Structure 1
């Protein structure tokens, strides 16, 4: 990441911190992940807005990412399952505060693009699966946390079975 991108990331992290509480670890994560790589609207990437992606999907607002990540109480979490990878921005942020990230995306081109972006950023602790997130990812369960970055009308019991006892 060049100096200009670093400054844009830091400015966005500072703007987030003015609006919602984030701890130092999460603040640093926002400073390390260039949001523009995850959004087709590069000129708007550092605004605190949700932005459109392909296939009628959206990249969440950085404020939403911050609130959801803080709500995870991630301090003692070793692994997380994310349902709804999208472009991968939430997973990238999670990868800086949680050791192992497993993310599922039901739209194949988004899953492939996210996996490619993670490789380019050398985020090797993120695992991507193209599948319907309703069934979770049993192979790596149990997870310390499960995060829904996608819309869900209810939480399937099979996902709760993949959550660790302390999750």
Structure 2
């Protein structure tokens, strides 16, 4: 991540933490995740706003504040692996990849999952495991 992007992600993490207090580990995980990579090109200028944005297939990337809250409420301290239902763009899984040795994520919309997998490869995220399926089936 270049210096400008690192500054943007750090500011985003701080902004989330001002609204909803975050543990240092979670604030750091958000600061280390380049949100621009998970937003369609036409919306990259809005990547660091606290808004949900469309990602295709009538789906949205959650607001960074929502991702921060979900991650904090997960209370990931001491855990080794996590299962995420609904990979979407892959942003939440990428944040979780900084907190867990293994992230297992399921997405029912195959084109979204294929795009997320490509993002993980491009970013060198190797601890996220993916599956196309309905999350109600779990990881089988």
Shared fold, TM over 0.5: yes
Aligned to 1:156: none
Q: How far apart are the structure 2 equivalents of 1:43 and 1:60?
A: 16
Which blocks of at least 5 consecutive residues in structure 1 are unaligned? 139-167
Q: How far apart are the structure 1 equivalents of 2:70 and 2:11?
A: 20
Q: Give 3-state SS (helix, strand or coil) of 2:56's partner.
A: coil
- State yes or no: 1:33 paired with 2:58: no
| Bigger radius of gyration | 1
Give the alignment's TM-score, normalised by structure 2: 0.96
- State yes or no: 1:66 paired with 2:68: yes
Which blocks of at least 5 consecutive residues in structure 2 are unaligned? none
Aligned pairs (5 A) from 1:7-156: 7-40=7-40, 41-138=43-140
Aligned to 1:148: none
Deviation, structure 1 residue 83: 0.4
Q: How far apart are the structure 1 equivalents of 2:2 and 2:68?
A: 23
Number of equivalences: 138
- Runs (4+) of structure 1 exceeding 3 A deviation are none
CA RMSD of aligned residues (A): 0.7
Deviation, structure 1 residue 64: 0.6
Higher helix share: 2
Deviation, structure 1 residue 77: 1.1
Give the alignment's TM-score, normalised by structure 1: 0.81
Q: Give 3-state SS (helix, strand or coil) of 1:21's partner.
A: coil
Deviation, structure 1 residue 134: 1.0
